[in-house]
């Protein structure tokens, strides 16, 4: 595994970081507790010492499972990344910005974006309790909240750094203008953004800005939630309450399948799966600091970790880019 410095912070994160959205269960068709804990153990054992989660993932369940998994382990060798700013329990008392209704076991639960100073402090204390730790390595705003001034949110993060409760502060899903505003108040360690072979929009403005100002980029959904593994073109059924039933609809299935067919021989020549090839490509893109890879069980985690063993030449990368341009026709590029 390779470890990379996150922005100007002191954090060294694993290039492939374990993404813990799916083990929360909600929106992913449920989860198995023992499989989830085993997945976290496998991540740490195979060098994926950085773990990214959020209170919203399973309405606290993801953080609880991570807390159970790391209990008794050397905390100094694990980097915990969590978030704040999505409220679902009504404690915001009508404040904040309505986001969407989340389905949880057939129940629709209203979720709000809420990033006030008081809410951040409260959410962090809850996260620390669930994770079983007294600090988190990186605390990130989950989604921008238009009802709270950015300066107020950044002030809260700065305070938590000075108190030693977080080691570094980041954001997620911030556009360029929001990054610039936040940067006037605090040195951001990172911005966590959606990025994949099929979704490269941040290359236009955000990545150049991040490189210039030494801000790390954490790429999420590099596999487009499994679409780029190719298995969903081979009769891999999704459960009815899996959000990917709708998510995959934004892409041209025929073009994605044709693109994957084009690069499959390259993966095979590297003794790698499509998913491993895609992850390794993502880690090699300019400005991308670390890449999140989710997994429901230990076997998937190990496969993700081994993607770092793949060597891609400049010629290999050009081949992939040519296939994207010719087969996927530049969509989202």
pLDDT per residue as tens digits for the range 291-317 = 999 988 999 999 999 999 999 999 999
The per-residue pLDDT for range 37-47, each reduced to its tens digit, is 999 999 999 99
pLDDT at 329: 64
End-to-end CA distance of the chain: 29
Q: CATH number, domain at 18? A: 3.20.20.100
274 Ramachandran zone, left/alpha/beta (phi>0; psi -120 to 50) = alpha
pLDDT at 30: 47
Choosing from 57, 112, 114, 195, the catalytic residue is 57
User: Which three-class secondary structure state does DSSP give residue 45?
Assistant: helix
Q: Is residue 25 part of a domain?
A: yes
Q: Is residue 291 part of a domain?
A: yes
Which residue positions in the chain have pLDDT lower than 70? 25-31, 233-250, 329-333
Q: Is residue 195 part of a domain?
A: yes
Q: Would you call 328 a catalytic residue per the annotation? A: no
pLDDT at 229: 86
The span from the CA of 216 to the CA of 170, in Å, is 9
The per-residue pLDDT for range 206-264, each reduced to its tens digit, is 999 999 999 999 999 999 978 898 877 655 555 555 666 666 666 778 888 889 999 99
pLDDT at 28: 43
Residue 87 CA from chain centroid, whole number: 19
- Number of domains composing the chain: 1
pLDDT at 25: 57
pLDDT at 226: 80
Q: Is residue 184 part of a domain?
A: yes
Residue span of the structural domain in which 56 resides: 3-82+118-250+271-309
Cα Rg, the chain, nearest whole Å: 19
What does the block give as tokens for 152? 């107020």
Contact by Cβ (8 Å): 31, 297: no
pLDDT at 245: 60
DSSP 8-state symbol, 7: T
> pTM for this one?
0.92
């Amino acid at each position: 595994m390779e470890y990379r410095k996150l922005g100007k912070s002191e954090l060294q994160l694993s290039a492939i970081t374990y993404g813990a959205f799916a083990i929360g269960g909600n929106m992913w068709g449920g989860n198995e507790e023992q499989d989830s804990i085993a997945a976290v153990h496998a991540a740490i054992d195979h060098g994926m010492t950085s773990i990214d989660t959020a209170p919203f993932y399973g309405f606290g369940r993801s953080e609880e499972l991570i807390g159970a998994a790391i209990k008794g382990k050397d905390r100094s060798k694990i980097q915990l990344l969590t978030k704040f700013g999505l409220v679902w329990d009504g404690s915001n008392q009508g404040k904040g910005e309505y986001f969407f209704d989340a389905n949880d076991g057939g129940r629709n639960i209203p979720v709000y974006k809420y990033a006030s100073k008081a809410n951040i402090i409260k959410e962090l204390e809850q996260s620390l309790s669930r994770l079983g730790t007294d600090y988190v390595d990186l605390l990130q705003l989950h989604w921008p909240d238009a009802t709270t001034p950015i300066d107020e949110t950044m002030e809260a993060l700065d305070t938590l750094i000075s108190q030693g409760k977080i080691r570094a502060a980041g954001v997620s899903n911030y556009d360029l203008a929001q990054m610039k505003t936040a940067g006037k108040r605090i040195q951001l360690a990172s911005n966590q953004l959606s990025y994949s072979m099929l979704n490269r929009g941040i290359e236009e403005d955000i990545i150049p800005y991040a490189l210039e100002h030494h801000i790390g980029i954490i790429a999420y959904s590099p596999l487009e939630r499994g679409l780029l593994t190719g298995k969903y073109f081979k009769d891999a059924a999704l459960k009815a309450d899996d959000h990917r039933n709708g998510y995959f609809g934004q892409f041209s299935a025929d073009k994605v399948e044709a693109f994957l067919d084009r690069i499959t021989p390259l993966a095979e020549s590297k003794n790698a799966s499509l998913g491993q090839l895609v992850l390794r490509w993502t880690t090699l893109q300019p400005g991308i600091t670390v890449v999140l890879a989710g997994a429901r069980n230990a076997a998937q985690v190990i496969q993700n970790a081994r993607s770092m063993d793949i060597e891609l030449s400049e010629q290999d990368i050009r081949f992939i880019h040519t296939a994207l341009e010719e087969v996927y026709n530049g969509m989202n590029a």
